[in-house]
Amino acid sequence: MSKPFDPETADNLEDIEKQFAVKAVEQLMTYWSILEKVRGSQLRLTKMDDDIYEHFKKEFPDFDPSATLDENEMKSKEGKEKWREFMNTYENSIADYNFGTMLRARADVEYDQETTIFAMRMQFYAIEIARNRAGLNDWIYEKAHPEEKKASS
């Protein structure tokens, strides 16, 4: 009989890390591609966007979607506890709610090495839904469709 899995003593398997990296990059490329095709303010990321947004505003009332995310604050002991409580609400309703993904630290920049942080899927959903509701991701669509901006001017 095998021993129970202990993440604290588990080997760091390079193939698993590579698979994670590929999946995370695919997800961010897909999201960016969607934002180039649809204004973020018109986009729904899940069937539960409204519920996630309201819950997020209630649990994180001081969150400013236009501000730069403080990764250290998010990953502090208190931050982790607060986020874990928030995320665990979606354990049975959002697939891969606790799967790792990439998140832009600021809404006004593209994904790159300096402005991208590792986050959990529910953190991504909550923050990106808030950004989309505030229209902060619409610039991506407008950049991809400059002719539409000129036509509406």
DSSP 3-state assignment of 95? Answer: coil
Residue with tokens 């049975």: 92
Q: What is the pTM of this model?
A: 0.86
Residue with tokens 């899995």: 5
Average pLDDT over residues 92-104: 93
Number of H helices, E strands in the chain: 7, 2
What are 4-52's pLDDT values in tens digits? 655 556 555 566 666 777 788 889 999 999 999 999 999 999 999 999 9
49-59 and 77-88 helices, crossing angle to 10° = 150
pLDDT for 1: 46
CATH says 48-151 is which class? mainly alpha
Tokens representing residue 77 in the block: 């002991």
What are 126-148's pLDDT values in tens digits? 999 999 999 999 999 999 999 87
Residue with tokens 């036509």: 151
pLDDT for 122: 96
Local structure of residue 37 (DSSP, 8 states): H
**H or E segment at 102?**
strand 100-104
